[in-house]
Structure formats: structure tokens, C-alpha cells
Structure 1
């Protein structure tokens, strides 16, 4: 146990020493002219290059992704209708469909499906 502690402390010391040496030998500066110059356009931007991200758009995208995955799960349920036990198939598909309907109702109730916000 003692040997393992010594080895671990040596590994940590050597890795920290290598990080410190690489930071000291780094030739890059924070105000490098190539980094602060405009990229390929020839003019300085007057505003921030980043635009405000719409959370509403993100939520609609996530909802679309969830329903897309649900459709991908529903298609095999329909295709195995002929080869499975009818009672088990009905119980599983009904349970899954009820969960989907409850999720849709919850999203509708939270006004997450409004496209105009």
C-alpha cells in the first residue's frame, strides 16, 4: 500500500511538472495578431459574432427529436403484430401509446407546443 501511494504521488508530481514546463515554454501570446484580426472577410465586425440563442427553438427541437424517436419505436411494434401473442402485444403497445399521449398532454398543458412565442 505504501509503494502504491509513493507511485501515485510520483505520477502526479511528474504530470504537474510537465504541464508547468509546457506552459512556461509556450510561445503563443494572448494578443496574437492572427487571432484578433478578422477572418477572411477583410473588415472588422461592428457587433458580436455570436447571436442570441433561442431557448424556445431549442425546446421545439428537443420535442421533435423525442417524437421522432417514438415513431422509430412504434414502427417495429406494428410490424411484429403477426408474429406475437395478441394479448401481450396489445398490453405493451397500449401502455407505450398511453405514455406517449400523457407526455403530449403534459407538453400541451405547459404551452411548449406554441410556435409563436
Structure 2
């Protein structure tokens, strides 16, 4: 049995080494591309593309990240439903946090409903 595990482990290590060699050679193959050109951004910049920064896009991405984490907390609610009122209180707190965060960002003007 130990020989089978050893052979499998050696095969896996060799396969991993070949995969890494393939990825490194592929990156050298693509290195001829221009890295400073915009990648599917939808507009032609007037300046160097490495210097462009969209603040509204950054704010929306941070909002998405925060709300995504808060909603992820609600995904575990069915798993903890056997806990009774404690899980209900937890889910209610998370829903209230998401609601207040949305209203707060709406009042600040970060969210544009138009």
C-alpha cells in the first residue's frame, strides 16, 4: 500500500512540475504583448494607461465587496437554524446592517440611482 501512495505522490509531483514548466513557457511566449495597453476597458485613453484610475469604479467595487461579505453571512443561516432564536437574531442583525449601509451610502451620494 505504501508503494502505491509513493508512486501516486511521485506521479503528482512530476505532473505538477510539468504544469509549472508549461505555465512559465507560456508566459514567456506571451511576453511580446504590450503590457501597458488597456485591456478591454472600452475607451482609448489619452495618457499612459498605467496611470488611469476610476474613483467611481473603485467605490462601487469596495461596496460590492462589503455587501458580498455581509450577504455571505446569511448563506449559513439554514445550517444554523437548529439554534433557534439565536440564528434568527443573527440574520436579523445582518439584514439590518446591510440595509443601514445601503442607506448610508445613498445619503453620501456614492450610489446613484439614475
TM-score, normalised by the number of residues in structure 2: 0.52
- Shift in Å, 1:51: 4.2
Q: Which position in structure 2 is the counterpart of 1:80?
A: 80
- CA distance in 2 between partners of 1:112 and 1:47 (Å): 26
Q: Which position in structure 1 is the counterpart of 2:69?
A: 69
Q: Which position in structure 2 is the counterpart of 1:92?
A: 90
For 1:14-93, what aligned pairs fall within 5 Å after superposition?
A: 47-81=47-81, 83-84=82-83, 86-93=84-91
- CA distance in 2 between partners of 1:98 and 1:75 (Å): 15
User: Aligned Cα RMSD in Å?
Assistant: 2.6
Cα 1:73/1:48, change in 2 over 3 Å: same
Unaligned stretches of 5+ residues in structure 1: 1-38
Q: How many residues align?
A: 72
Cα 1:108/1:78, change in 2 over 3 Å: farther
TM-score, normalised by the number of residues in structure 1: 0.51
- Shift in Å, 1:90: 2.2
- Shift in Å, 1:115: 7.0
> Is the radius of gyration larger for structure 1 or structure 2?
1
Cα 1:88/1:52, change in 2 over 3 Å: same
